[in-house]
Amino acid sequence: MSINYKEETKIFTLETRQATYQMQIGKFGHLFHVYYGNKIGKAEVDYLVRGADAGFSGNCYEAYLEDERTYSLDEFKQEYPTFGSADFRSSCLAVEYQNGSQTTELRYKTHRIYKGKYALQGLPAMWGSEEEWETLEITLLDAHYPVEVTLLYGVLPEYDIITRAVKITNHMNDKIILNRALSTCVDLQDHAYDLLSFYGKHNMERSLMRRPICHGKQAVDSVRGTSSHQQNPFAILCDHTATEDCGNCYGFSFVYSGNFLAEVEVDQYEQTRMVMGIHPTGFRYTVESGDTFTAPEVVCAYSRDGLGTLSRNYHKAFRNHLVKSQFAKKRRPILINNWEATTFDFNEDKLLAIAKEAKELGVEMLVMDDGWFGKRNNDMSGLGDWFVNTKKLPQGVKGIAEKVNQLDMEFGIWVEPEMVNEDSDLYRTHPDWCFQIPTRKGVYSRAQLVLDMGRQEVRDYLFTAIGAVLDSANIAYVKWDMNRHLTDVWSGNLPAERQGEVYHRYVLGLYELVDRFVTKYPQILFEGCSGGGGRFDAGWLYYMPQSWCSDDTDAIERIHIQHGTSFGYPVSAMGSHVSVAPNQQTGRFTPLHTRGVVAMAGTFGYELDITHMTNEEKELVKEQIKEFKYHYDTIQYGDYYRLTNPEENNRYAAWQFVSEDKKKSLLSVVILHATANAAFLTIKAKGLQAERVYHIAELDITTTGAALMYAGIPIPREKGDYIAFNFTIEEMV
């Protein structure tokens, strides 16, 4: 069993392959955190639960009656801290009662342990069989009001994963208001940690930031209505000395696509607290009598063997136990998207010209991007009008799809369901369906307003209108975009006192709509997008197996973007394409071969006008497609190793894929900064079997895995900007 409860000591122990997680019911019923870290066998370490008679750290009433001044919630490590209960650190729960009080103090009530993984109604969560998972539910009760909090723990031992979620149930006769309802708290014994987070902006998402934590609070968050380009809902705490291959690392991934908060605090006793959940800013949620509020899931992971192992555990767990789509384990087509080739200026003939040329080179799908619907010749009009622009497509989507299918290619489309232009039939008919405060002039972004996804009638319209398009033709792929963040967040569908629910209801409504689409159309490959990587999170990954990694398709910048993304998300989730040079975003010229090498560290495809390529370039495209197909399983399902950190090493970047059986590997290198009379470059491989004999075709080297990992691989000295190499490493049979 991976979960055990010992009645004599009142200790819960959760075990994974390498980790132990312990908590204990305290003398007066509070649930204390005891330990989280390297596996400790059957030992119970409740001796770590220590208190002191400290000034200004108060005692609960029962402790006061017994004069136990060392029993203070301000000192103990806790599982789910609450506001107002004399714990002055970051809290997870803040409840406002009808009398205006805001103090909650939770005590143990009951628990149950069962095989399998819990599910969350209306929210994405990890899943799996009874043989793979075990669940612990601990129900806590407020000391003075009938408000229950059920803590959910899912244990996936194989990948050192422990998930956390929370249900808050109101058994009072009156409603309660949640001003704060976070999903997890992990209290660690000391503060010798670095915080790794992933910041960015549109066109440069998920850049790695590593900083030592310090006294006080450090936050990673978004109040943009979505997980955002600017910060990602994934963070790591690790030893100061942790590297890719050694050191204690704790990962926290929020399975949610809206406003979030990840906050780290070092307290007066040099203990570290990490909390994560829905951002309290703009959040005020009413729970009526008898109702339950469910806080989204956090996926916690532990590695004693460094950042690389932590990442690979997340990759495997998400591929096998988060993504619901059949495409998680099904080969996805190599596609070409017309956006950078044509933008809005296309018609059926242009698309077919691209498709015919692409087919000759081995491309398997044409994706028709923005501009095929309504009055959509630029970004000023048409959003919301999900009917075909027959001036561009005289025979509709059905006609173009059939012609592409006749080329033995699949066909896909772009949609942006959550948005509307003022210049649209939808807005003229239903202006009340979008976020607009009646007394204010609204904020516009890309000439768009945001539809209120919390309204059932909005979701029903979108499902019907877009569904009609999907039903009309043989569509194999849908790119779901979102090109602005939320402002003027006010819903005409809710009374004034419930406007604090709008952000969360937006996400719940969005999930409900997306679930309807992916359930009705399981044969369609859905790809997420939000101006590139603006909604790249575990919640979205549950519904869509891949997301467009960034609108920045520059190969050199993509190395940084994909490097940061890889810490928390699998390569199979990263939409990555070869684009034109000079690049449209940066103006940089990068060799076509290099662009292909970088794009192969993702789902792989093309984003350019292939009809303008030279014959030499077309032959190289054929070779790239052939190479990617050969390595497909190794790239998409194998182990991923970061061999360098491009934020620190400006000379070269290197990464490696190794198949699960260790028989095949692909090692990629890109020279970032060419120098005269350059030093010899040798790169040490990882993940191979030391005693096996491998052959590197490109270098005609045959030697042991040990030699390749410890002596290294010699990289050829070639002149030129941004030269790249792919090395195929295969076991000799």
Number of residues that this document lists for the chain: 733
| Residues 730 and 666 sit within 8 Å (Cβ to Cβ) | no
The residue type found at 405 is N
Nearest to 162 by CA among 177, 144, 184, 147: 184
**418 CB-near residues (< 8 Å, 6+ apart):** 450, 451, 453, 482, 510
Q: How far, in Å, CA of 596 to CA of 105, rounded?
A: 57
To the nearest 10 degrees (0 to 180), the angle between helices 592-599 and 615-630 is 20
Q: Where are the alpha helices (DSSP H) in 274-382?
A: 306-321, 339-342, 348-361
Give residue 527's identity as a one-letter amino acid code: E
- Rounded (10°) angle between helices 396-406 and 348-361: 20
Residues 410, 537, 554, 557: which is the catalytic one? Answer: 537
Residues 6+ apart with CB under 8 A from 374: 381, 382, 383, 384, 385, 386, 387, 389, 424, 425
DSSP 480-496: E---S---S---TTS-G
Cα three-residue angle 624-352-584, rounded to 5 degrees: 55
Instruction: Give the three-state DSSP class for 704.
Output: strand
- State the first-to-last Cα distance of the chain, in angstroms, to the nearest integer: 40
> What is the C-alpha to C-alpha distance for residues 78 and 59, in angstroms, rounded to an integer?
15
* 340 carries an active-site annotation: no
In whole angstroms, what is the distance from residue 195 CA to residue 539 CA?
A: 22
Distances (CA, A) of 77 to 13, 86, 266, 382: 16, 13, 12, 54
Verify whether residue 617 is a known catalytic residue: yes
165 close to 272: Cβ distance less than 8 angstroms: no
Contact in structure between 510 and 453 (CB atoms under 8 Å)? yes
Nearest to 723 by CA among 656, 645, 654, 663: 654
Please provide the DSSP assignment of 415-448 as one string. E-TTEE-SBSHHHHH-GGGB---TTSPPP-BTTB
DSSP line for 209-222: EEEE--BEEEEEEE
H/E run at residue 508: helix 502-520
Helix (H, G, I), strand (E, B) or coil at 152: strand
* Calpha distance 359→503 (Å, rounded): 44
CB contact at 8 A, 71 and 53: no
Q: Which amino acid is at 429?
A: T
From 609, 617, 627, 647, the catalytic residue: 617
Q: CA neighbours within 13 Å on the CB side: how many for 270?
A: 4
Q: What is the secondary structure of 45-111 as a DSSP string?
A: -GGG------TT----HHHHHTT-TT--TTTS-BSS-BTTSS--S--SEEEE-TTS-----EEEEEE
Q: Rounded to 5 degrees, what angle do the CA atoms 282, 460, 119 make?
A: 60
Q: Which residues are catalytic?
A: 537, 617
